[in-house]
């Protein structure tokens, strides 16, 4: 794992000066921690965001996971070390919509590094916003040696190997693009009864590293513009996911561990033909609202649009978050096969940024060792 001070060389002069003031005044967090009665190891993290969606990267203090494959290690984390996820994702150390990643040893040919992903409910199989951030992180921490003008970082995710291309100029990492795992349409025109609406709606289901339900805002009669309140829309997204889980059983040709509905994406495609822009809002895990346009969801959406002849191969479309107005660019670059499914490889591009470094501890008498959630 990277050391606590891995990213210090990337900090601005003012930030480095602030760290030095803390050290000279005896305010070193590491020194304070040694005087605490704690349980377990102190955990250090690097904090980033992509399109406003947070990423907490676990650096030091993580568990030694058992398993020969990344999916086996994912199971071990969930079964035997879930208290770490809960402590880092939930309040008071995190918040309801926090997202995280933990580095593990890769088991896939060609992989430079591997990561598990975590959120308020558990562990996901793919995360595009995280991959964009981790591309920069892998260069800036020396996991992969950077080279200009672009560096390839092969990241193994639970869903498979994801090639990530990070721009690099004058010693600084920049924008990132990744190539998705095979993304495909599972079903279209599915009727799902929503108890909260007391009626059925028509949805599509597609995969881009995780399975998503897609439904138009017009179908729901709701507004997902940037200015609109998000609470009711978020609750509706979760209600649709729950209802769809009771209606359809998804399947994936590679592993049963990938075959579950991860969330619902409410979309507004009214400006696709005129402006090449799609607005979307993703509710995933346990009613978690994505601040970014959702990388894996964008991959799935591109597969859906290509299959429906609303988007051509190599046509670039902008996907905008209904929450933050942040954008990903995406295009289908290859036609591939995934078991019985006609699929595409999708290139998704975006930007990620550093927000800080943290050290987390758990005192022995803390009643909230594994945190709590407030919906």
Three-class SS state of 14: helix
Helices (H) and strands (E) in the chain, counts: 9, 18
User: Alpha-carbon distance 220 to 228, whole Å?
Assistant: 14
User: Please, where are the H alpha helices in 117-194?
Assistant: 128-140
254 upstream amide cis, omega within 30 of 0: no
Residues written for the chain: 375
Are 44 and 60 in contact by the 8 Å Cβ rule? The answer is yes
From the number of C-beta atoms within 10 Å of its C-beta (0-12, 13-18, 19+), residue 83 rates as middle
List of residues 6+ apart from 64 with CB closer than 8 A:
none
Are 263 and 236 in contact by the 8 Å Cβ rule? The answer is no
Three-class SS state of 292: coil
Are 318 and 327 in contact by the 8 Å Cβ rule? The answer is yes
Are 171 and 130 in contact by the 8 Å Cβ rule? The answer is no
Residue 356 vs residues 4, 15, 171, 319: alpha-carbon distances, Å: 11, 10, 19, 27
Three-class SS state of 187: strand
Catalytic residues: 127
């Amino acid at each position: 794992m990277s050391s606590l001070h891995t990213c210090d060389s990337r900090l601005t002069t003012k930030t480095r000066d602030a760290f030095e003031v803390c050290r000279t005044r005896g305010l070193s967090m590491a020194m304070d921690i040694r005087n605490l009665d704690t349980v377990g190891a102190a955990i250090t993290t690097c904090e980033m965001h992509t399109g406003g969606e947070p990423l907490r990267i676990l650096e030091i203090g993580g568990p030694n996971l058992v398993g020969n494959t990344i999916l086996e290690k994912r199971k071990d984390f969930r079964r035997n070390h879930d208290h770490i996820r809960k402590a880092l994702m939930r309040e008071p150390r995190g918040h309801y919509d926090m997202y995280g990643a933990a580095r593990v040893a890769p088991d896939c040919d060609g992989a430079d590094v591997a990561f598990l992903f975590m959120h308020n409910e558990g562990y996901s199989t793919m995360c595009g916003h995280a991959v964009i951030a981790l591309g920069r992180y892998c260069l800036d921490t020396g996991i992969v040696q950077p080279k200009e003008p672009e560096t390839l970082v092969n990241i193994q995710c639970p869903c498979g190997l994801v090639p990530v291309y990070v721009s690099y100029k004058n010693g600084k990492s920049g924008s990132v693009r990744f190539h998705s795992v095979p993304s495909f349409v599972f079903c279209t025109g599915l009727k799902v009864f929503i108890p909260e609406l007391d009626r059925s709606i028509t949805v599509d289901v597609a995969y881009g590293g995780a399975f998503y339900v897609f439904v138009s805002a017009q179908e729901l009669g709701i507004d997902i513009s940037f200015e609109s309140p998000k609470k009711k829309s978020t609750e509706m997204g979760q209600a649709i996911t729950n209802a769809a889980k009771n209606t359809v059983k998804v399947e994936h040709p590679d592993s049963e561990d990938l075959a579950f509905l991860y969330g619902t994406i409410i979309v507004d495609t009214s400006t696709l033909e005129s402006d090449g822009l799609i607005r979307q809002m993703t509710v995933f895990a346990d009613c978690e609202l994505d601040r970014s346009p959702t990388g894996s969801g964008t991959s799935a959406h591109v597969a859906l649009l290509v299959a429906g002849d609303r988007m051509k191969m190599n046509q670039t479309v902008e996907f905008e978050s209904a929450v933050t107005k942040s954008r990903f660019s995406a295009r289908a670059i290859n036609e591939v096969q995934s078991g019985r499914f006609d699929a595409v490889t999708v290139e998704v591009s975006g930007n990620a940024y550093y927000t800080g470094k943290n050290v987390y501890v758990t005192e022995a008498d803390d009643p909230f060792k594994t945190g709590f959630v407030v919906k």
